Amino acid sequence: MNETKDLKTEKGMPVTENKMGYMPIRPLMISMSLPAIISMTINALYNIVDSYFVARISEDALTAVSIIMPLQMMIIAVGVGTGVGINSLISRRLGARRQEDADKAATTGILLGVCNWLVFMLVGLLLPGAFVSAYAKPGTYIYEAATQYLMIVFCGSFFIFVQVNLEKILQATGNMKAPMICSMSGAITNVILDPIMIFGLLGFPKLGVVGAAIATVIGQVVGFTIGVCILFGGKNHLVNIRFKGFRPEKRIIKEIYQVALPSIIMQSIASVMNVLYNMILVAYSTTAVAVLGVYFKIQSFVFMPVFGLNQGVLPIIGFNYGARNKERVKEARKEGIRLALFFMVIGLILFQTIPDKLLLIFDASPKMLEYGVPALRIISLNFIPAAFGIMNGTVFQATGHGVYSLICSFIRQLVGIVPFAYLLAKIGGVTLSWFSFPIGEVLGLIYSFAMLNKLMKNEIDAL
């Protein structure tokens, strides 16, 4: 995966030996994104399968898992956000030929994953009841199932936090196949174990929602283990990780979180939005809460390939930004938008034409279909503008301007979705509230294009 080539500029000076600096953009992007797209799509499938089996227990079980989903999104926000910061710094330092800083960023990244886990483990041990009680009364099935699920997933999050950072380190060097193997192995393990542990097959006890949580953690253990074996298996990955005698530097941590923190907050905003939206919906029906949870599960099957594309595009842009090659930065963004639109158009067609069939995957009741069919059709109107927004955000993150993505996400979800959802629900009920999604997406997109234009004029064009 780490092909190199000795190139010269027009002035005869060396540019780079990394494929991200010389390989034609389209085949490079496809080669780097395809493993991540496959991996993310399979992860989306395993999320769907997870809810598919839980829905077979009861609608209350599906609601319990849907209640916890925003907090699971918080784990992903912190884990992936930190990983994005690591990825961005490593790729930029490799592009600028600053090997020592790239090595320090990689080693620091592993330690940051452990620190993130310690925080979430404490939350999982101390605060699950306080969160779940906002949606269900203690002693009810929904309360008990949701609390147990939360505790297990949070306490076992060590493996996913470190695994994500291992994957981002590899991706920053241009190695996309190894992260795919890590992610796919965990997802496939979870899919296999879900029915076994939920329904008590092959001699295992019937654990219900708890079984789904345990299967998730075991899948993460498998992905983590494979990631460790790949990264520390002796093969050259263009970065060197050494813990012996290593001391984290404030400078490196600061540079990682200059990109990571906005990314974390940006993704956490999605979690906060989900929590607030659930609070709006629960006043009307717990079924509506389940519908929103199902929507996020299904839409991940559309968005995850685009996020996989994002993982391939980010190091390409970051590397060439560091190498001061503005033409390749611009070309990578354009190709990324074309591919993102391809996935989003397919998703839009499916959500508009067969929303009932998508909902029936989760054993939807007539009431769930009543809420869910219009929900999927209305919310999916945000898919096309989201393609542009995601790729604009990739440019911001790759060039060290993650705060632009943060502000865009804040505008889209907390300024757009939540207030409009509340107002529209008051005016026309749950169905009208779904229009808050496309409204919020358009508001965020307007801001992102304004900031992209500023970045192009002030920095990229000046490379």
Instruction: Name 261's Cβ contacts closer than 8 Å, sequence gap at least 6.
Output: 81, 85, 402
**CA–CA–CA angle 261, 183, 314 (5° rounding):** 45
- Averages of pLDDT over each 10 residues, the chain, 463 residues: 43 53 83 77 69 84 84 84 86 81 87 93 87 85 91 93 89 79 87 92 90 92 91 74 83 87 79 87 85 87 85 85 85 91 95 94 87 94 93 87 84 90 93 94 93 90 77
pLDDT confidence of residue 10? 37
Q: For residues 263 and 270, what is the distance between their CA atoms, to the nearest angstrom?
A: 11
Q: Are 160 and 75 in contact (CB under 8 A)?
A: yes
Q: For residues 30 and 36, what is the distance between their CA atoms, to the nearest angstrom?
A: 10
Nearest to 295 by CA among 366, 374, 386, 198: 374
pLDDT confidence of residue 17? 60
SS3 4: strand
Residue 404 tokens read as 């632009």
Q: For residues 119 and 132, what is the distance between their CA atoms, to the nearest angstrom?
A: 19
Percent of the chain at pLDDT exceeding 90: 32
Q: For residues 219 and 50, what is the distance between their CA atoms, to the nearest angstrom?
A: 12
Q: For residues 316 and 312, what is the distance between their CA atoms, to the nearest angstrom?
A: 7
The amino acid at 369? L
Rounded to the nearest 10 degrees, what angle do helices 59-95 and 286-322 cross at? 10
SS3 17: coil
pLDDT confidence of residue 171? 81
pLDDT confidence of residue 320? 86
Residue located via tokens 């598919």: 52
Residue located via tokens 């990682």: 256
Instruction: Name 88's Cβ contacts closer than 8 Å, sequence gap at least 6.
Output: 172, 259, 314, 318, 397, 398, 400, 402
Give 320-360 pLDDT, tens digit per residue: 888 888 888 889 999 999 999 999 999 999 999 999 999 99
pLDDT confidence of residue 47? 64
Q: Are 124 and 155 in contact (CB under 8 A)?
A: yes
Rg, Å, the chain Cα set:
22
End-to-end CA distance of the chain: 28
Q: Is 463 exposed, middle or buried (0-12, 13-18, 19+ CB in 10 A)?
A: middle
